């Protein structure tokens, strides 16, 4: 069980969200899947974006980690696709990523931030109304790059797995009150930059998939949990890859979790199909735009197959890659122009209309832009204009 884990002023964006026609086929024009409804100040160089319901109003809210601002920004959703102005909370130095998880067992997601510059995590307890207590800092090891939350030892409490730059994963076991005690530390591979937690082999224990992005031996490494907070290696996947980020989804509709990663240096996406026993098939690589970073899986074209939205930080666009439901994807993708330096993306229904929306955090523009998904009727109306 995952123990309750979720992993500025409003201004209408001047950006017109024009499809990038250079990637579309003549017989398959890029659809108008989205419309921009707002641009919001985030903070100094946001590198991570997450969505969760922080004030328990059943509306998704947003939070960014601002790596050069020593803070995180929380934007509360209004339920119509717009958001309140940001509220900033001070954390440690160089906050790179975060996780929204209920570490205090009160039903409201708290925040845990990985501070790359101060070798710590910051725990911000949710007051229950979408505001947070001042951060409590805890040393965690040298240069934390990423983290995730899940119940690793079966006590019903949220624990943490923290990626440390110099080839370590630190497990921190939660006490249910926002505190953590040291657990296992193990070597996952060369420069772990992202980690995802789920049950890969059906034994009801949480396992880990780690993106090792180092130049010497980049790969995806899988570790199976024993239900008591310890992990054993179960396989390495991908040769000569340098995965920056990975996430999970059932991309071939078989009820088993698969992995997808972004290889920013090589401009590739790679899918590893899960077998359901903790092992994965060899990766299938697909060309991406320039500088892919974060991925958000969702069904964007409403065909009941998972697609992915990819933030491309160098080509300044968002790619929507349509899934075929068999672990493969349709190419070329549909590309949409963004502002400068799109880095992180999340997919949620921000206005409650049943259509998937996206929010994109821009490293250079230092804002979050919200794109609401168009219904099929809206798309048809746009086509006849």
Q: Helix/strand/coil (H, E, C) string of 256-302?
A: CCEEEEEECCCCEEEEECECCCCCECCCEEEECCCCEEEEEEECCCC
Output the average pLDDT for the chain: 92
The answer to whether 310 touches 301, Cβ cutoff 8 Å, is no
Confidence class for position 2, pLDDT limits 50, 70, 90: very low
- pLDDT for the residue numbered 384: 55
Alpha-carbon separation of residue 309 from 24, 26, 95, 262 (angstroms): 16, 22, 24, 11
> pLDDT per residue over 56-107, tens digit each?
999 999 999 999 999 999 999 999 999 999 999 999 999 999 999 999 999 9
Instruction: For the chain, give the percent of residues with pLDDT over 70.
Output: 91
Say yes or no to pLDDT of 24 above 90: no
Structure tokens that stand for 31 in this block: 């659809």
Res 20 pLDDT > 60: no
Question: What mean pLDDT comes out for the span 104-133?
Answer: 98
Per-residue model confidence (pLDDT) at position 11: 29
Residues 5/160, Cβ–Cβ less than 8 Å: no
- In this predicted structure, what is the pLDDT of residue 99? 99
Position 265 confidence tier, pLDDT thresholds 50, 70, 90: confident
What is the band of 10 on the pLDDT scale with cuts at 50, 70, 90? very low
CA distance 380 to 385: 9
Q: What is the pLDDT of residue 239?
A: 81
Three-state DSSP class for residue 325: coil
Q: Where is pLDDT greater, at 216 or 304?
A: 304
Q: pLDDT tens digit string along 153-198?
A: 999 999 999 999 999 999 999 999 999 999 999 999 999 999 999 9
**Tokens describing residue 157:** 């409490």
- Residue 132 region by backbone torsions, left for phi larger than 0, else alpha for psi between -120 and 50, else beta: beta
Provide, rounded to the nearest whole percent, the portion of the chain with pLDDT above 90. 86
Indicate the Cα dihedral angle 188, 193, 198, 203, nearest 10°: -10
Residue 377: φ, ψ to 5°: -65, -40
Q: pLDDT confidence of 22, banded at 50, 70, 90?
A: very low
According to the model, what pLDDT value does residue 382 have? 62
Q: What is the rounded average pLDDT of the residues 219-246?
A: 96
pLDDT value at residue 1: 38
Closest by CA position to 195, among listed 164, 218, 217, 174: 164
pLDDT in tens, 268-325: 999 999 999 999 999 999 989 999 999 999 999 999 999 999 999 999 999 999 999 9
Question: Model-level pTM?
Answer: 0.91
CATH architecture of residue range(s) 34-383: 7 Propeller (2.130)
d(CA 50, CA 66): 12
């Amino acid at each position: 069980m995952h123990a309750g884990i979720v992993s500025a002023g409003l201004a209408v964006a001047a950006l017109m969200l024009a499809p990038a026609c250079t990637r579309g086929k003549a017989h398959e024009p890029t659809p108008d899947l989205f419309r921009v409804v707002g641009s919001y100040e985030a903070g100094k160089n946001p590198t991570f974006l997450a969505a969760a319901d922080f004030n328990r109003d059943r509306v998704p809210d947003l939070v960014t980690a601002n790596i050069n601002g020593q803070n995180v920004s929380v934007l509360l959703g209004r339920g119509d696709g717009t958001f309140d102005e940001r509220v900033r909370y001070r954390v440690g130095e160089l906050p790179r990523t975060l996780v929204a998880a209920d570490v205090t067992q009160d039903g409201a997601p708290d925040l845990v931030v990985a501070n790359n510059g101060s070798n710590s995590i910051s725990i911000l307890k949710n007051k229950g109304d979408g505001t947070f207590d001042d951060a409590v800092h805890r040393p965690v090891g040298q240069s934390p790059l990423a983290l995730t939350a899940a119940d690793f030892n079966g006590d019903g409490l949220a624990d943490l797995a923290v990626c440390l730059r110099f080839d370590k994963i630190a497990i921190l076991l939660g006490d249910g009150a926002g505190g953590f005690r040291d657990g296992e530390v193990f070597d996952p591979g060369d420069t772990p930059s992202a980690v995802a937690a789920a049950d890969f082999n059906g034994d009801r224990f949480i396992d880990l998939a780690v993106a090792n992005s180092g130049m010497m031996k980049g790969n995806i490494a899988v570790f199976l949990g024993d239900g008591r907070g310890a992990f054993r290696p179960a396989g390495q996947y991908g040769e000569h890859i340098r995965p920056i980020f990975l996430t999970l989804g059932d991309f071939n509709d078989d009820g088993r979790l698969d992995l997808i990663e972004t290889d920013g240096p090589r401009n590739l996406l790679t899918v590893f199909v899960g077998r359901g026993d903790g092992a994965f098939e060899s990766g299938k690589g697909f060309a991406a735009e320039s500088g892919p970073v974060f991925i958000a899986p969702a069904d964007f074209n409403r065909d009941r197959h998972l697609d992915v939205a990819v933030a491309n930080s160098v080509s300044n666009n968002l790619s929507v890659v349509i899934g075929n439901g068999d672990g493969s994807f349709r190419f070329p993708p549909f590309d949409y122009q963004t502002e400068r330096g799109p880095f992180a993306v999340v997919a949620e229904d921000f206005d409650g209309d049943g259509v998937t929306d996206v929010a994109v955090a821009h490293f250079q523009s230092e804002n979050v832009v919200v794109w609401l998904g168009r219904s099929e009727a809206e798309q048809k109306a746009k086509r006849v204009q």
